[in-house]
Structure 1
C-alpha cells in the first residue's frame, strides 16, 4: 500500500502498520493503507526516514577505490580508510567514507548554488550512509537528500522499491519505472509529501537498484524541509532527468561497496511464508457478494490486495491483508474480541476511516486462525473509492456480516 511516503517507501508496509496499530484499531486510514505506496514509500516512504538529517557532494572516482573530492591537490585523492593500506594484502578492505565525503559528493553532483543545513552519516554508521542539505539555485531553498544501502537483487524488495505506487493510495503527478541498459531498475516519482495533499509540499524521488544490489535513493522537495516548512518554490530544483543523473552517478556505487557487511537479523516467525498478492486479490474478488461490480483492482506482490466495487450507489474500496506469523501479537489484537468454537479469534471495528477527510468510514473484520502458523486475514471496506478521497456514499458497500464471511471463508486456508 502506500508508503508513508517517506518512509519509510515508503517506509513504509500495510502488514507492518497492522502489527503496530492493530491492537486498538485506532489507527487512521493513512496508517492502515501505508503499504500501498510502496516504496512505498514507498515506497517509499520509509526511505526518507533513513535520510532525514543528512546530505552530500562530489565529482570523480579515482583509481583503486579512491574518492576524488573537490579541492584535493595533485598529491592524491582524499578518502577515509578503516584499515591501513597493506602491500602484502591482495584484496585490501574497501575505503570507508565519512559523512563529509557524502556531503561533498552530493554537492558536486548538483548544479551551482548555495548550501546550508548540512548533515550526514558515513559508511560506518549502523543506520547506513546518508546525507541531507538545503540547496538554493537562486529560485528558492529546497531540501535534497540521498541514502545508500543494499537490497537483494531480483528480490521482492528490489521490485517493490522501484515499482511506481498505486494511485488508489498514493496520488501523484507522474511516475516511471524502467530498466536501464546496465540492468539497473530505476523509478522516478513526482508526488507529494502528504498523499492527502493537506499541505502541497512536493516530493520527487529516484530509486535505483543495480544488478549487484546497490540501492541509491535520492529525494528533493520544493521546501527547505520535507515537513513543517513553508513552500519556497513551485517545484523541486532538479528535473526528473537531472534527478536521474544524480541517482545513477557511478560514484555512489563505490560508497555502497564500502558499507560493512553485517550479520542478518533473525528471521521473524512466518517471514518466509507470504501469500502471493495475485492469489489474495483473486480470492477476494471471488468472495464478493452478488450485486457488486468490481471497477478497479490492485495490490502488492504479496499479502495485500484491494478491489474498488460499485453496487450502483457509489464506489467503495475493499482491501485485504493476509499474513503469517501473527500469533505473538494475538492478545494485543484480539484481547477484546471473540473466540469461535474452533479457536479462531475475531475482532471488529466500525469508525472513521481518515481523520483528515470528514465523513470517511472504515469497517473492519480481523481474524486469526488457530495454529502455530499465526494465519491472519484482515478485510476492510470504506465508503470512498480511494485513500484520502471524499466519501462517495453514506456507508461502505459491504456490511459487517459480509466482511465477516469473507474473512472467515475456508478459501483462505489454501494460503496457509
Structure 2
C-alpha cells in the first residue's frame, strides 16, 4: 500500500488476495493463531502473519521425528495440467483435491467441507471443513503457500512461526522442533480470545521446509472459528496429530504446484537482480523484536508484502503501531523529505510528524517517523492513540514515544537478512 495513505488493513484486506493465509487475529499472545476475520476472504490470511506475529523469537531447537500421515494415503492426482504445451508445466490441483487430501489425512470420523481453493487461481490453496470424531464437531483448516527465496534454500528456523517467551505467552503450550529433513515446525495450543471467553480454543501447527513449503493447520473446538458455540472441550486433533497432518508430504507436493513462486533471478554479485518487497510475515517478526518489552501485544496483522501492524497496550489503553517497508524509493526522496528532514551521518533521511489521524476517528492523533536509507529502503513507523483509526481515541497519546518510534524505524534489523 502507498505508505502515505496509512490505510487500515481491516478495510483494504477485505478485497486483497489471501496470500499465504495470514492476516488479522485476536491472539492469546502475540502469535496466537485465531484471527479476527473480516469476511470469508479474510479468514485464512492469518497463517503467515501468525508466522511473524510472535512477541519474541525464542525458537526451541530440539530433535523431532517426522511422523507418517494416517494410512499413508497418497495425495490425489491433480485435476488438470496447466495448458502451456510444455512438459514442464505445473499441475493444477482443484479445490476438491485439497478437500480429498485433508479428508484422507484425518483420523477416522465424519468430515464435511466448508471452504476450499486449489492451485489454479490467484489465491493460495486451502481446505476448511468440520470434523467429528464422535466426540463433537471441530473446525479444521489447512493453508498452503510458498515462501520465495532470492537464491538457494531458506532457513526454516527463522521462517516458521516462533514461540513467545514464557513470561509473555498466554498459550497453554508451544513447541518448535527441527525435523530430520531440516524442516521446522511449531505446534501450539491456545485460545481464540485473550480472555478465554466461550472457552473457544485454537490449536495449530506451522511448518516450513528448506525448499520454502509453508503448511499451516488450525483447529477449533467449535464448528467454526467464530460465531458458533463450542461443541467439545478441546479441538479434535492432539498436538501429535497436528504435527503429523502438517508434516504430510502430500501438502508439499501440492504447494510445489502453486504458480508464480519460482526463484528470483540472481545477479553476478549474488544478490537479487531487483530488490523485492519484504513479506508481511517477516515485517511482523522484526517488529515483534523491536517493540518495547513491557507492552502487551493485543492483536496483529499484515498484508502480503510491505505492511504489518500490532495493537499494543501499556495498561493505559490500546494503541495501533504500524510499519510500512518499501524498497527502491530513492527516486522520490525529494518529494517525501523536505527541508525539515534530518540527514544522518550514514546518509539516512529522517522525517518526524505529529498530527491528527487521517481516518476520521474523534480525537485520534498519529505520530510518525519516516526514514529512507541510502540504498532506497524506506521504513515508516506510525503509532496512534487508538486501536482503530476510524474510531474515537481511547487514550491521550500513542503507547510509543517519538524516540521509541525512531529506534524502531532506524533499527538495522530492517536490512538484516535474518531476524
Q: State the alpha-carbon separation in 2 of the partners of residues 119 and 245 from structure 1.
A: 22
| Cα pair distance change 1:43/1:375, threshold 3 Å | same
| Cα pair distance change 1:269/1:188, threshold 3 Å | closer
Where do 1:15-414 residues align within 5 Å? 19-20=7-8, 37-38=30-31, 48-50=43-45, 60=72, 67=75, 78-82=77-81, 92-152=88-148, 159-165=158-164, 171-261=170-260, 277=286, 281=290, 323-325=324-326, 344-347=352-355, 366-369=367-370, 375-378=379-382, 404=401, 406=403
| Cα pair distance change 1:269/1:101, threshold 3 Å | closer
Give the structure, 1 or 2, with the largest relative contact order (CA under 8 Å, sep 6 or more).
Answer: 2
How many residues are matched? Answer: 324
Residue 146 of structure 1, CA deviation: 0.9
Q: State the alpha-carbon separation in 2 of the partners of residues 79 and 401 from structure 1.
A: 51
Alpha-carbon RMSD = 5.6
Q: State the alpha-carbon separation in 2 of the partners of residues 132 and 105 from structure 1.
A: 11
Residue-by-residue CA offset, 1:380-409 (whole Å, 9 max, x unaligned): 799xxxx9xxxxxxx99xx85996552586
Moved more, 255-264 or 96-105: 255-264
Structure 1 SS opposite 2:91: coil
Q: State the alpha-carbon separation in 1 of the partners of residues 379 and 251 from structure 2.
A: 41
Structure 2 SS opposite 1:204: strand
Residue 195 of structure 1, CA deviation: 3.0
Q: State the alpha-carbon separation in 2 of the partners of residues 368 and 230 from structure 1.
A: 44
Q: State the alpha-carbon separation in 2 of the partners of residues 203 and 121 from structure 1.
A: 22
Residue 137 of structure 1, CA deviation: 0.8
| Cα pair distance change 1:248/1:118, threshold 3 Å | same
Residue 161 of structure 1, CA deviation: 3.8
When Rg is computed on C-alpha atoms for both structures, the one with the higher figure is: 1
Residue 324 of structure 1, CA deviation: 4.3
| Alpha carbons 2:148, 2:261 under 8 Å: kept | no
Unmatched segments (≥5 aa) in structure 2: 12-22, 48-68, 265-273, 301-306, 330-337, 342-350, 358-362, 388-393, 415-419
Q: State the alpha-carbon separation in 2 of the partners of residues 111 and 275 from structure 1.
A: 34
| Alpha carbons 1:270, 1:373 under 8 Å: kept | no
Q: State the alpha-carbon separation in 2 of the partners of residues 109 and 280 from structure 1.
A: 36
Residue 267 of structure 1, CA deviation: 7.4
Q: Which residue number corresponds to residue 59 of structure 2?
A: none
Residue-by-residue CA offset, 1:343-396 (whole Å, 9 max, x unaligned): 7421368xxxxxxxxxxxx997612448786553445799xxxx9xxxxxxx99
Task: Return the TM-score normalized by structure 2.
Answer: 0.57
Structure 2 SS opposite 1:199: helix
| Alpha carbons 1:94, 1:258 under 8 Å: kept | yes
Residue 163 of structure 1, CA deviation: 1.0
Q: State the alpha-carbon separation in 2 of the partners of residues 276 and 50 from structure 1.
A: 16
Task: Return the TM-score normalized by structure 1.
Answer: 0.57
| Alpha carbons 1:79, 1:97 under 8 Å: kept | yes
Q: State the alpha-carbon separation in 2 of the partners of residues 125 and 252 from structure 1.
A: 17
| Cα pair distance change 1:160/1:191, threshold 3 Å | farther
Unmatched segments (≥5 aa) in structure 1: 1-14, 24-29, 69-77, 286-293, 329-338, 350-361, 388-394
Residue 99 of structure 1, CA deviation: 1.7
Residue-by-residue CA offset, 1:122-176 (whole Å, 9 max, x unaligned): 2212212211111111100111111111113665897354212467876321111
Q: State the alpha-carbon separation in 2 of the partners of residues 116 and 32 from structure 1.
A: 25
| Alpha carbons 1:18, 1:32 under 8 Å: kept | no
| Alpha carbons 1:366, 1:376 under 8 Å: kept | no
Structure 1 SS opposite 2:8: helix
Q: State the alpha-carbon separation in 1 of the partners of residues 166 and 241 from structure 2.
A: 24
Structure 1 SS opposite 2:181: coil
Q: State the alpha-carbon separation in 2 of the partners of residues 170 and 222 from structure 1.
A: 21
Q: State the alpha-carbon separation in 2 of the partners of residues 93 and 59 from structure 1.
A: 30
Q: State the alpha-carbon separation in 2 of the partners of residues 84 and 341 from structure 1.
A: 56
| Cα pair distance change 1:18/1:197, threshold 3 Å | farther
| Alpha carbons 2:220, 2:235 under 8 Å: kept | yes
| Alpha carbons 1:377, 1:407 under 8 Å: kept | no
Structure 2 SS opposite 1:261: coil
Q: State the alpha-carbon separation in 2 of the partners of residues 304 and 157 from structure 1.
A: 23
